[in-house]
Structure 1
């Protein structure tokens, strides 16, 4: 590794993902579930948002498009990432986001005055993949760059869930560092080695039965993710208590989880688990014991600089949180929601009153609370709403609906770029102040619709096949290739679903006009 990388693997650029948990409105609501006052008093207030380790910049650009009242700054040490991000912001016509190439070590020693202070700071996929000295620099940055009351999102690989994977990561990294294989080749070599050891009945595979599933999951992950996950010189899954201690040096206190369903803990855990936690009042011990009980693998923690609790008689229902149906198509009879503490199954009938109240528009938390059938069942807003939000069936925002507005032209450009091979798979959603996932087929269809709305339905299926062919791809079903006849039928099915379900949902969420 080159010196400037601090042991971070820069052989392959970072992925082009978007993470809803980093959206300001989502962060505000997650804090509200724990009774914590958000950085912004009102939804329309201007704010400043900093992402440390902004990668390719795609996610931050989508947030900037969906939140025109915000000022966004991304900092990344990679010139490749910064060049892509800057060019993308210009291509999308975004004036409220900028990207800075910078080293955390240098910035921690002297935070630039021109960058100033922020109301939100986010670090995704950084904190447990860097050396201790750079973690200390990040703490120095957070000390200098956060306003009082600011929220800091930090995600990291957590202990004890990664214990069983440590031998696998070590040997993958050894293949890389010793020059035996590079990049994705090191992952493939390590996977083959462990499969050989398992077949031979090795002690390590016998002692760590969970390791097999982790190794098997690497077969379906994209190469950039695998390189960025496993092949860094520094790979340090962290106990929450350790992160609490380190960020405490920047006057930051753990306030909530951005993994929204985990704010239901401990009440959603089995009674025996709750009994263990009842007598553990020390905050750090309590977090680590909880993570042991559920074998936590990944945390999305929200820290606040100066935690303020809502007054006793104040209700979150009086605030301006608004909820939307977020998925196209009907809800199945049973909905299974998975989280770090396990899976919870909700019957459609048990949440029908909530989904019907939201309907094809949106409702605030206060409006929902006044629906008689919802008021009669406290579990609907206290538990089921959070589970549906976590499962992606609902979206959350603050304030009034604003429509597609600025997002529609941005999304047309994103779709056009995806149509020529750009690896973008999300679109900005103005009413959510966030973004939604979009498949490659969806983006090709959106590009076709933008080019010829009147003739879209007639041309959609053939245009989808042609768009995929330009990218060297064909439609498949459950990963299996289709005959020409089957592919025509599948294209017609996807085009029909896009027209009848996806487009209306995107209009509701402020993705398209």
Structure 2
């Protein structure tokens, strides 16, 4: 892993990054403090003493006002799935070969007993269906997830207590919609959330109502609660909001797992028109004449809910909104982005690039990444033909109505539409 990261750092010319090979107890003394710490794929998969070392690192190296992201396997969602790990780990221990071969053998065994209707799978149909998802995963990931010696799923309250002992407080979770209980909990349970504003209580309620199996939680040192619109504008009016993509119309409906939610009505119609023209700060939205008469709190709530439901995006700076494809040559300035495009386009996985325009990461589908790679390496002339040829040569296919498109003319037409949509929608964000 470290060798691969070092290679990426060198190829991407990242002067502000380095890879350190050590455990949490022996980190270099010159690290200092950080505004952001991230623990992904770590907390549930280490021994208790290592988790304690992690808490010490967080306490020592997270700057005042900094944010820490921790992901972990969560209860109660993992309760009925924990035997799957036991099946895989116990069977793999009996097999020969490296970890990839052993997890492959263990998967085959689990499929066999599932298909033969072992009592566990008969009594737990969701566990039986879960096996199909495992078969689509990378074997190396499965070995990390299921064959690791240490593996713990936590209740939210347990993790909150651990980080609380290190002086950190829970401030929110990802994805964004999980901070809105009315977007992730069915209506019949929502009265529970009106009885208290204590997030430690409501998060536990939510996990049982939604059967949460994985959490991305954010903790902070010295968090401040913004009690009013005025306080929010004073503290965080440096973010910009815009429509997530051109052509969005109302009603806008999304299913976020447990609840299907719909956005509609005059307020959202007006917000959609305003934020389709340009990206605006919250203070600018509140001053817009077409929104006059709406209470500030209602407007802010509508914007936040729109972000949670994928109607609006948040950026660190203003982003030009255009419905027309960009013309002329396009260059990818970042060496890191160039390296990622060259290696991961049409690779079968989403491609994450660093966006200077939005101030954050920007994820492209691997097909859009191929369009961008061709556009920046060879220019716009003949773009559709080159992308079409590259797609055909990769053995991949485009889908239409759930079926692969095999007719060359129809495929090229879809490629042309995709190129036009990409240059008008995704490209301005990069």
Answer yes or no: same fold by TM over 0.5. Answer: yes
Residue 368 (structure 1) shift: 1.8
**CA RMSD of the aligned region, Å?**
3.4
Q: What does residue 270 of structure 2 align with?
A: 353
Residue 303 (structure 1) shift: 0.7
Distance in 1 (CA, whole Å) between partners of 2:213 and 2:127 is: 13
* Residue 86 of structure 1 pairs with residue 6 of structure 2: yes
Q: What SS does the aligned partner of 2:20 have?
A: strand
Shift in alpha-carbon separation, 1:313–1:385, aligned structure 2, 3 A: closer
Does structure 1 retain, via aligned residues, the 8 Å contact 2:279–2:318? no
Shift in alpha-carbon separation, 1:291–1:460, aligned structure 2, 3 A: same
TM-score normalised according to structure 1 size: 0.71
Distance in 2 (CA, whole Å) between partners of 1:497 and 1:313 is: 41
Q: What does residue 342 of structure 1 align with?
A: 259
Q: What SS does the aligned partner of 1:359 have?
A: helix
Q: What does residue 296 of structure 1 align with?
A: 212
Q: Give a deviation string over 1:382-411, Cα, whole Å, max 9, x none.
A: 554334423444321235559999855543
Q: What does residue 208 of structure 1 align with?
A: 124
Q: What SS does the aligned partner of 1:97 have?
A: coil
Q: What does residue 106 of structure 1 align with?
A: 26
Q: What SS does the aligned partner of 2:149 have?
A: coil
From 315, 318, 323, give the equivalent of 2:241.
Answer: 323
Distance in 2 (CA, whole Å) between partners of 1:351 and 1:220 is: 39
Q: What does residue 13 of structure 1 align with?
A: none
- Of residues 230-239 and 392-401 in structure 1, the stretch that sits farther from structure 2 once superposed is 392-401
Does structure 2 retain, via aligned residues, the 8 Å contact 1:260–1:386? no
Shift in alpha-carbon separation, 1:273–1:454, aligned structure 2, 3 A: closer
From 334, 349, 353, give the equivalent of 1:427.
Answer: 353
Does structure 1 retain, via aligned residues, the 8 Å contact 2:41–2:71? yes
- Of residues 347-356 and 122-131 in structure 1, the stretch that sits farther from structure 2 once superposed is 347-356
Gaps of 5+ in 1: 1-80
Does structure 2 retain, via aligned residues, the 8 Å contact 1:82–1:101? yes
Distance in 2 (CA, whole Å) between partners of 1:103 and 1:204 is: 39
Shift in alpha-carbon separation, 1:162–1:373, aligned structure 2, 3 A: farther
Residue 338 (structure 1) shift: 3.6
Shift in alpha-carbon separation, 1:106–1:383, aligned structure 2, 3 A: same
Alignment of 1:397-416 (within 5 A): 397-400=315-318, 410-416=336-342
Q: What does residue 385 of structure 2 align with?
A: 462
Q: What does residue 307 of structure 2 align with?
A: 389
Shift in alpha-carbon separation, 1:505–1:360, aligned structure 2, 3 A: farther
Residue 88 (structure 1) shift: 1.6
Q: What does residue 168 of structure 1 align with?
A: 84
- Of residues 232-241 and 331-340 in structure 1, the stretch that sits farther from structure 2 once superposed is 331-340
From 57, 64, 68, give the equivalent of 1:148.
Answer: 64
Q: What does residue 439 of structure 1 align with?
A: 365
Q: What SS does the aligned partner of 1:324 have?
A: strand
* Residue 365 of structure 1 pairs with residue 282 of structure 2: yes
Q: What does residue 474 of structure 1 align with?
A: 396
Shift in alpha-carbon separation, 1:267–1:333, aligned structure 2, 3 A: closer
Does structure 2 retain, via aligned residues, the 8 Å contact 1:297–1:340? no
Shift in alpha-carbon separation, 1:199–1:87, aligned structure 2, 3 A: closer
Does structure 2 retain, via aligned residues, the 8 Å contact 1:419–1:467? no
Q: What does residue 20 of structure 1 align with?
A: none
Q: What does residue 423 of structure 2 align with?
A: 503
Residue 87 (structure 1) shift: 2.0
Shift in alpha-carbon separation, 1:284–1:361, aligned structure 2, 3 A: closer
Distance in 1 (CA, whole Å) between partners of 2:358 and 2:348 is: 24
Distance in 1 (CA, whole Å) between partners of 2:183 and 2:243 is: 26
- Of residues 85-94 and 149-158 in structure 1, the stretch that sits farther from structure 2 once superposed is 85-94
- Of residues 227-236 and 289-298 in structure 1, the stretch that sits farther from structure 2 once superposed is 227-236
From 240, 259, 277, give the equivalent of 2:175.
Answer: 259
Does structure 2 retain, via aligned residues, the 8 Å contact 1:205–1:211? yes
Residue 263 (structure 1) shift: 1.7
Does structure 2 retain, via aligned residues, the 8 Å contact 1:414–1:424? no
Distance in 2 (CA, whole Å) between partners of 1:267 and 1:448 is: 39
Q: What SS does the aligned partner of 2:153 have?
A: coil
Which of the pair has the greater relative contact order for Cα pairs under 8 Å at 6+ separation? 1
Q: What does residue 116 of structure 1 align with?
A: 32
Q: Which runs of 4+ in 1 moved over 6 A?
A: 402-406, 420-424
Aligned length: 418
TM-score normalised according to structure 2 size: 0.83
